[in-house]
A and B are shown apart, each in its own frame.
Chain A
Amino acid sequence: MSAPEAILELHHIEKSYAPKRWLSRGETLRAVDGVSLSVRKGETLGIVGESGCGKSTIGQIASLMLRPTGGSVVFKGEELVPGRRSPRDSRRSRIQYVFQDPYSSLNPRFTIGRLLEEPLAIRKKGTRRERRREVLRMLSRIGLDPAYADRYPHELSGGQRQRVGIARALMPSPELLVLDEPVSALDVSVQAQILNLLKDLQAERSLTYLFISHDLNVVHYMSDRVAVMYLGRIVELAEVGELYDGPLHPYTRALVDAIPDEPGTTPREAEIIEGELPDPRQLAGGCAFRARCPFAHERCGRQPLLEEVKPGHYVACHLLEPDRD
C-alpha cells in the first residue's frame, strides 16, 4: 500500500513483550502484530483505538525511539533502524515525537529555555547566542511570552506545558511529528488553542503528522486519513469522511456509533456493543474482535487480512472479503 508520495512507511511492524517472570502464565504479549502503514507527505494520519491497542507503541517505533521485534521503518525511501538513535544523525531528527504528558517528559530541573535549546545544542547547531535567539523566536511563535525562557516546567499550566512539548519537538526542524494524545490531558477550552496551533504550524512548515488519540471527534477534526486499531492490528483505514460516514468494520461501526452526540441534541438510542476488550495474551488466533462481534462466524477463527475494498479504503474483516467461499 505504498504510495509514491510516502514520507514514512512501516512494513509489517511487530512488537512483542516477553512475559514478566513473576507472572504465573507466561504468554508473550503482542502489542503490535504486523502493522503496515504508509504516511503521505503533508497529511495528517490519525490513529484511533482503545487503550492498550498499541497506538503509542506504533508511534514510538515510527519515531525511531523503540525497536520493533519485526518489520522495518522506511523514511523517505531509506530504511532506518529504530532504537539505535544517534542524536547527531540529522536524518533521525527529521522525525520527532510529542509526548502525551508533557510534564513527565520535561526535565523539571531545566528552565524552559534550556529545554528548548537542548535539541540544538546536542547537534552542535549554531553558537549559544544564535541558539538562544532561536529559542526566543520559537517561544513567541507558540504563543508564550519570551520571559518564560527562564521559568521551570512546574510554573506552567497544562496547556503551556503542552506548547513547550510541541516547541521542543519543532526545534530540530522535523518533517514529521508523531503526536501521541497531544490534547487528551487538556481542558476543552485549552484543547482548541493547541489544535489551532498545530494546524497553523503544519501549514507554515509543511509538516506531516501522525496523530494519535482516542478522542474520535478530535481525530476527525485533525486528520485527512484515519487508521483504526484493535489489539495490535489495523482493522480499518480510509479517508476521514469516508471512515466516519461509512465505517465498514464492525468495530469501527461500534466506535462511530458510540461517539457522544453534539451537546444539546436529543440523544439517539445508539446500538451499544456488549463485551470487553479481551486480554491480548489469551487470544488464540483468529479475528481479535470476534468475541464482541455481532456478526462473528466460523471463518472468523482465521485472521482476516487488511484488504482494499474500495479505492483507498482498507478493511480487515471476513464479512467484506470478495466472495471467495
Chain B
Amino acid sequence: MVGAKPSGGETVLEVRDLRLELSAKDGARLPVLEEVSLKVGRGEIVGIVGESGCGKSVLSLSVLGLLPPSIRVAGGGIYNGERKELHRLGEKSLQRIRGKEIAMIFQDPMTSLNPGMTVGKQVAEAIRLHTGASKREAEEKTVGLFRKVGLPRPETLYHEYPHRLSGGMRQRVMIAMAVSCQPDLLIADEPTTALDVTIQAQILKLMKTLREEDGTSILLISHDLGLISGVCDRIAVMYAGRIVEEGAAAEVLRHPAHPYTAGLLASLALPSKKGTRLHSIPGSVPALRERGPGCAFASRCPYAADRCLAEKPALRGVAGSAFPRSAACHLLGEEGGLANVGS
C-alpha cells in the first residue's frame, strides 16, 4: 500500500455512469465510453490503466470540457468537489475551473508549451491570469515553483525557450504550470512515456511530494502497470471504453479479478519470466465499430462462455476483499466471489 488514505472520504471528482458518443463521418454513433464511474478523494492518487484507444484520454478531456466536437456526453455526469455538474457548465465557468481547481498535464509537453515564449513567462502569465498577482509576485512564484519541481538553476531557466530544454525538463515545466494555482486535482495523461527511467523516477517522486505537501489529488493515466503500481492508491483498469476492474492498487495487481487484468499482468516481460515463454492475450482490442452486445473482452478471453457473448457484465463488488473493489465479469459468480480466474 502506498501513502495516505483519502482523508474523511471527501471527494474532489466524481464521474458517474458517463457515456460518451462519437459521431462518425458516415453518421454512425459509436460508444467511446460506456457507464464509466470513478471517484477521486482528496489527497488520493488514482491510476487509470488500459490499452491504446480504450478511452483514457477522452475521459480526462471530458472532465475539463475539452472534448473534440465529434464526441459528446450522451449520458451520466461529471461532478467536482462542490457537486457542480461540470458536464453542463458553459465555457466561461469551465475556464474558471481549469487550471485553478483541476489542472492537466498532457501526453506531449511540446505541443502544450508555446515555442515562442520563455518557459518562465508562460508559467508567470498563467499565475497572473488565475490569481491576479502582480508581475513581480508571479515571477517570484514561478522561480519558487521551478525549484520545487526540481528544475536546475531556476533563475536562468526562467529565460529559456522550450526547445532548449530536455524532455524531462519540459515535463517539469508543465508540472510547475499545472500546480501553480494549487489545484485540487491534477490530471496527468501519460506524463512520463517519453522519458527514460531515471527521469521518470524523479517525476513520480515529485507527484508524491505534491500530494504530501499540498494534499493535491492526482489522476494518473498510463498503460504502464509498473509505474501505476508504484504511486497509486487505487487503480481502474479500462478495456474498450469501460472500467472492467477497480480497487486498491496492490490488491488489484496482486490478485486480479478480471481475466483481462490477469492477462495483462501475465504478459509482462518481468525478470522472473526470463527463459520462459511469455503468456500472451491472443488477438487485439476490438475497434469502436466492432464492439458487439456482449463483453468486449470475450473474443480474447480464455474463460468466455455463451453468456459473455450475449450480455455485457456490469461492474459490481468483489467479495472477500479487504478493501472495496469491483470487477465486470460474468465469471465472478452471483455472490461476486472470485471464480477460478487469473493466477
Tell me the residues in window 112-166 of chain B with beta carbons closer than 8 Å to chain A beta carbons: 150, 152, 166
A160 to B254, CA, bound (A): 30
Decide if B194 touches A51 in the complex (CB within 8 Å).
yes
> Of the candidates A159, A221, A255, which one forms a contact with B274 in the assembled complex, judged by CB atoms under 8 Å apart?
A221
Inter-chain contacts of B197 with A (CB < 8 A) = 214, 216, 255, 258-260
**Interface assignment of B108: CB less than 8 Å from any CB of chain A:** no
**Interface assignment of A277: CB less than 8 Å from any CB of chain B:** yes
Decide if B277 touches A272 in the complex (CB within 8 Å).
no
**Interface assignment of A284: CB less than 8 Å from any CB of chain B:** no
Tell me the residues in window 252-293 of chain B with beta carbons closer than 8 Å to chain A beta carbons: 252-254, 263-265, 267-274, 277-282, 284-285
Inter-chain contacts of A270 with B (CB < 8 A) = 201
**Interface assignment of A36: CB less than 8 Å from any CB of chain B:** no
Decide if A159 touches B284 in the complex (CB within 8 Å).
yes
Kindly provide the distance from the CB of A49 to the nearest chain B CB, expressed in whole angstroms.
8
Decide if A262 touches B280 in the complex (CB within 8 Å).
no
Decide if B196 touches A51 in the complex (CB within 8 Å).
yes
Inter-chain contacts of B150 with A (CB < 8 A) = 274
The contact sample of 19 A-B pairs, CB cut-off 8 A, is A50-B198, A187-B51, A189-B267, A191-B269, A192-B279, A193-B282, A196-B277, A215-B269, A217-B268, A220-B269, A221-B270, A221-B278, A258-B201, A262-B226, A264-B249, A267-B230, A272-B201, A275-B152, A279-B166
Interface size on A, residues (CB 8 A): 46
A189 to B273, CA, bound (A): 15
Kindly provide the distance from the CB of A235 to the nearest chain B CB, expressed in whole angstroms.
13
Inter-chain contacts of B252 with A (CB < 8 A) = 264
Contact bitstring B193-216, A, C-beta under 8 A = 1, else 0:
011111111100100000000000
Least CB separation from B273: chain A residue = A221
**Interface assignment of A4: CB less than 8 Å from any CB of chain B:** no
The answer to whether A263 and B51 touch (CB under 8 A), given A199-B277, A217-B270, A277-B166, is no
**Interface assignment of A273: CB less than 8 Å from any CB of chain B:** yes
Decide if A272 touches B205 in the complex (CB within 8 Å).
yes
Contact bitstring A148-165, B, C-beta under 8 A = 1, else 0:
000000000111100000
A199 to B273, CA, bound (A): 13
Decide if A260 touches B284 in the complex (CB within 8 Å).
no
Decide if B279 touches A51 in the complex (CB within 8 Å).
no
Kindly provide the distance from the CB of B23 to the nearest chain A CB, expressed in whole angstroms.
22
Tell me the residues in window 1-37 of chain B with beta carbons closer than 8 Å to chain A beta carbons: 1-2
The answer to whether A263 and B265 touch (CB under 8 A), given A214-B196, A244-B271, A276-B152, is yes
Inter-chain contacts of A273 with B (CB < 8 A) = 198, 201
Kindly provide the distance from the CB of B205 to the nearest chain A CB, expressed in whole angstroms.
6
Least CB separation from A259: chain B residue = B197
Inter-chain contacts of A157 with B (CB < 8 A) = 284
Contact bitstring B204-236, A, C-beta under 8 A = 1, else 0:
010000000000000000011111111100000
Decide if A196 touches B229 in the complex (CB within 8 Å).
no
Decide if B194 touches A196 in the complex (CB within 8 Å).
no
Least CB separation from A270: chain B residue = B201
Inter-chain contacts of A255 with B (CB < 8 A) = 197-198
**Interface assignment of B167: CB less than 8 Å from any CB of chain A:** yes
Inter-chain contacts of B284 with A (CB < 8 A) = 157, 159-160, 189-190
Decide if B268 touches A220 in the complex (CB within 8 Å).
no
**Interface assignment of B52: CB less than 8 Å from any CB of chain A:** yes
Decide if B267 touches A220 in the complex (CB within 8 Å).
no
A124 to B230, CA, bound (A): 54
Decide if B226 touches A193 in the complex (CB within 8 Å).
no
The answer to whether A260 and B224 touch (CB under 8 A), given A274-B150, A277-B166, is yes
**Interface assignment of B169: CB less than 8 Å from any CB of chain A:** yes
Kindly provide the distance from the CB of A198 to the nearest chain B CB, expressed in whole angstroms.
11
A220 to B253, CA, bound (A): 22
Decide if B271 touches A220 in the complex (CB within 8 Å).
yes
Inter-chain contacts of B270 with A (CB < 8 A) = 217, 221, 262
**Interface assignment of B168: CB less than 8 Å from any CB of chain A:** yes
> Of the candidates A214, A263, A272, which one forms a contact with B225 in the assembled complex, judged by CB atoms under 8 Å apart?
A263
Kindly provide the distance from the CB of B209 to the nearest chain A CB, expressed in whole angstroms.
12
A33 to B186, CA, bound (A): 42
**Interface assignment of A218: CB less than 8 Å from any CB of chain B:** yes
- Which of B196, B250, B273 has the largest count of A CB atoms less than 10 A from its CB? B196
Least CB separation from B195: chain A residue = A51
- Which of A214, A217, A276 has the largest count of B CB atoms less than 10 A from its CB? A276
Kindly provide the distance from the CB of B159 to the nearest chain A CB, expressed in whole angstroms.
15
Least CB separation from A197: chain B residue = B280
Inter-chain contacts of A160 with B (CB < 8 A) = 284
> Of the candidates A199, A254, A265, which one forms a contact with B198 in the assembled complex, judged by CB atoms under 8 Å apart?
A254
Decide if B280 touches A192 in the complex (CB within 8 Å).
yes
Decide if B196 touches A188 in the complex (CB within 8 Å).
no
Decide if B198 touches A258 in the complex (CB within 8 Å).
yes
Decide if B224 touches A189 in the complex (CB within 8 Å).
no
Inter-chain contacts of B200 with A (CB < 8 A) = 258
